[in-house]
Chains A and B, each alone.
Chain A
Amino acid sequence: MDFNLSPEQQLLRDSATRFVRERHPFETRRAIANGATGYSDGLWSAMADLGWLMLNVPEDQGGLGAPMADTVVLMHTLGKGLVAEPVINTGVWAACLLAGGEGGAVRRHWLDASASGAARLAVAHRENGRSWQGLPPATRARRDGDGYLLGGQKIAVCDAPVADALLITAAEEGQPGLAVFLVERNTPGLVRDDYRLVDGSAASDLTLLDCRVPAANRLLAGEEGAATFAAASDRAHLAVLATLAGLMEGSLELAADYARTRRQFGQPIAAFQAIQHLLADMFVACQESQSILFQALAAIDSPDAARRQRALSAAAVVMGEGLRFVTEQGIQLHGGYGVTDEYAISHCHRRGMVLAQWFGDGDEHLARFSRLAPHGD
């Protein structure tokens, strides 16, 4: 058992740390978050050049086929640096779906485009009034000649406004399991309602009005499709949790730095025991989160979905609680500055809010963890 970074992972972390320091200091982050789209083409292509979008593309499909630990290392650092580009959506979630999918040229084209950074992709699964795990989706797909007609609605699809194509889940008429369709941005019948999220990133509600796609755009189908979707989503979920761990560590460091510098009553507020104990509890929450993240990483390659998801849910429960504690108390320690846009801690809090919802909230994971208990209860 070895928790230390390999030399390659050390290099990856160093390069991600340097990237954040040089290309994405807080003022840049703030400008992007408050900018026109919430995203940066320059950053995106720089990240693609560093090969970060190829980590989860198998070697025999032109990628790096890196172990999931590499993605965890990368996302931890990008999370700490508050980078909001759609790395997880494109480089992890969509990449895993495309890599595991059927279909020839379409799949191949979009996998190459995502790995090279030529395209951004977003996965659309959430529906109004449904939990993350509320399968099957109400969105329907019906075979129609040489294509499919999609109908339904998706809500709060993260990164969709900047995505060149969407990977949309649907229940296929007369088929068990789950289907995933690739729908290009400007396809007739796909209506996007775009809006910004609290962290400056963007999302869309999608309405599919008999949206017609070629048959070759069906990437996944049936029970096998459902299993591939689950495995890809689990990897993306883990990437989100790694981002959260980095975000928590970043919040802790911001809070500690602030407490050491901010003076009141003639001394740094860090001199007060009330502040020290709060920082200590934040430290404990960060360490606990890092530990249970390792536990989820250890299970991620298991072919047993229940085992993977139990491990992920355990992590989501502990980290969801820890995240809230660390970012909320981080704001508390900043006093009034904590609720301004000008201080990074408020960005940590808002980014955390968004990420913690991606794959279901704490209660949902508490229930799933309990349900998947191997105790026979």
Chain B
Amino acid sequence: MDFHFDASLDEFRREVRGFVADNLPAHIAARQRHKSFAPDDLHTAEWQAILHRRGWSVPAWPVEHGGTGWSPLQQFVFNDECAALDAPVFPWGPRDMVGPILYTFGSEALKARFLPMIREGRHYWCQGFSEPGSGSDLASLRTTALRQGDRYIVNGQKIWTSGAAVARFGFFLVKTDTRCKPQQGISFLIIDMNSPGVTVRPIPQIDGDDHLCEVFLDNVEVPAEHLIGEEGKGWTYAKHLLDHERTGSAYIFWNKRELAKAREIARGEYRDGVAVIDSEPFRARLARAEARLIALEWSVLRILADEQSHWHPTALASCLKVRGAQLQQEITALQQEAMGVKALRYMAPRDLADFPVSALWPDYLVGKTSVALVARAATLYGGTLQIQRGIIARAAFGI
């Protein structure tokens, strides 16, 4: 056992911190602070282009595809520093899902066409997994893609498709074989969202935003070469991906940054002349959340440092998902509590960048309620809390 970050990692941290501090434009950091990023925000792309010029836009990818060759701990440090300095968080889909599946399983033609645009952050991508009848039970999905000559004809309906209204491309889980067992006939397909037959309906959300969408696919023609890898392997690919990326669901960088924001709010807001941060009950709750956050961070480090465990890796990964999601809710609740009655003001997500900041309404309040409301979904997406518990019971205890 040895828990020292080696000295080269400290050096690396300084290098990253210096680069981000020098190159992250102030207006982009401000938008991140205000949570005023739409998924298709040009500023996100602007930051990704800056990182791309430095060679850091897709750190986890293999070097031959534009990755950095960094160790898992270096990647951890990079993400940690970026989040701490309010760099925008990139959409998870293209960089962390489509990219890896493409370079692992995709054809040369698909890789040549799509990897560069993902690396450079040129287009927004949406992800079509869930369906109205297939939420937690994803294997029951019913959207079909039937081969006709050199194309697939896609029919069905997707839901919770984040950013579908503005996405240029989508990667969809579809049934290419409707006769076999549910999990076997599933494939990954890239769909051009401008194709005829694709209809998108934004869903008004709990915070007034509407980036989650329903996508209707009505006889959409998709070139057959847009199939990633082989037919019927979608489930295997998704599992492969999860086996290789087990710590993202902890939202560790997000949680650390938002806990710091909770502290900032509590320092700035007063009740009866006493700063919220000095109220004993609040301090206790904040401290409890912080202790749990430290535990979560060390859980992430254990996986990144490849601790040998007699427990099944899937069970350990789900632990991160469970605690990471619970902490998102706990921390945003602390922010809300510190804001008190000010948390009630409705701030339209689309207008946050223009919110009239004042002494009464400091910028640390902007957008926080929206985030807290959306954080209710943290225990829903990517497998609900209840699904995670089932996964743990099965993986850890064989039941």
Q: Which A residues fall within an 8 A CB radius of B?
A: 1-6, 9, 67, 69, 256, 259-260, 268, 270-271, 273, 276-277, 279-281, 283-284, 287-292, 294-295, 297-298, 313-315, 317-318, 366-367, 369-370, 373, 375, 377
Q: Do B322 and A284 have beta carbons less than 8 Å apart?
A: yes
Q: Do A279 and B305 have beta carbons less than 8 Å apart?
A: no
**A260-B322 Cα distance, complex, nearest whole Å:** 24
Is the C-beta of B358 less than 8 angstroms from some C-beta in chain A? no
**A290-B310 Cα distance, complex, nearest whole Å:** 14
Q: Do B1 and A3 have beta carbons less than 8 Å apart?
A: yes
Chain B contacts with A in 255-309, Cβ cutoff 8 A: 263, 267, 277-278, 283-284, 286-288, 290-292, 294-299, 301-302, 305, 307-308
Contacts of A367 in B (CB 8 A): 284, 287
Contacts of A317 in B (CB 8 A): 287-288, 291
Q: Do A1 and B301 have beta carbons less than 8 Å apart?
A: yes
From B16-24, B197-205, B382-390, give the one contacting chain A: B382-390
Other-chain contact of B299, A9, A283, A287, A366 (Cβ < 8 Å): A287
Contacts of B292 in A (CB 8 A): 288, 318
Q: Do A377 and B277 have beta carbons less than 8 Å apart?
A: yes
Given A280-B390, A291-B299, verify A1-B5 contact (CB < 8 Å): yes
7 CB < 8 A contacts A-B: A1-B2, A6-B1, A260-B399, A280-B389, A283-B319, A294-B3, A370-B283
Q: Map CB proximity to A onto B206-237 as digits: 1 under 8 Å, 0 otherwise.
A: 00000000000000000000000000000000
**A256-B393 Cα distance, complex, nearest whole Å:** 9
Q: Do A273 and B397 have beta carbons less than 8 Å apart?
A: no
Contacts of A271 in B (CB 8 A): 399
Q: Do A270 and B1 have beta carbons less than 8 Å apart?
A: no
Other-chain contact of B392, A4, A69, A280, A298 (Cβ < 8 Å): A280
Q: Do A2 and B2 have beta carbons less than 8 Å apart?
A: yes
Tell me the interface secondary structure of chain B in the complex: helix
**A288-B324 Cα distance, complex, nearest whole Å:** 11
Given A284-B322, A291-B299, verify A5-B1 contact (CB < 8 Å): yes
Q: Which B residues fall within an 8 A CB radius of A?
A: 1-6, 73, 263, 267, 277-278, 283-284, 286-288, 290-292, 294-299, 301-302, 305, 307-308, 311, 315-316, 318-319, 322-323, 386, 388-393, 396-397, 399
Contacts of B284 in A (CB 8 A): 366-367, 370
Q: Do A276 and B283 have beta carbons less than 8 Å apart?
A: no
Q: Do A280 and B305 have beta carbons less than 8 Å apart?
A: no
Contacts of B1 in A (CB 8 A): 2-6, 9, 67, 69, 294, 297
Q: Do B388 and A280 have beta carbons less than 8 Å apart?
A: yes
**A367-B286 Cα distance, complex, nearest whole Å:** 11
Contacts of B319 in A (CB 8 A): 283-284, 287-288
Other-chain contact of B390, A3, A9, A277, A294 (Cβ < 8 Å): A277
Contacts of A375 in B (CB 8 A): 263
Residue of A nearest to B308 (CB): A4
Q: Do B397 and A260 have beta carbons less than 8 Å apart?
A: yes
**A273-B396 Cα distance, complex, nearest whole Å:** 15
**A271-B397 Cα distance, complex, nearest whole Å:** 11
**A369-B6 Cα distance, complex, nearest whole Å:** 27
B60–chain A nearest beta-carbon distance, Å: 18
Given A288-B292, A366-B284, verify A273-B390 contact (CB < 8 Å): yes
Q: Do B393 and A277 have beta carbons less than 8 Å apart?
A: yes
Q: Do B3 and A298 have beta carbons less than 8 Å apart?
A: yes
Q: Do B3 and A297 have beta carbons less than 8 Å apart?
A: yes
Residue of A nearest to B283 (CB): A370
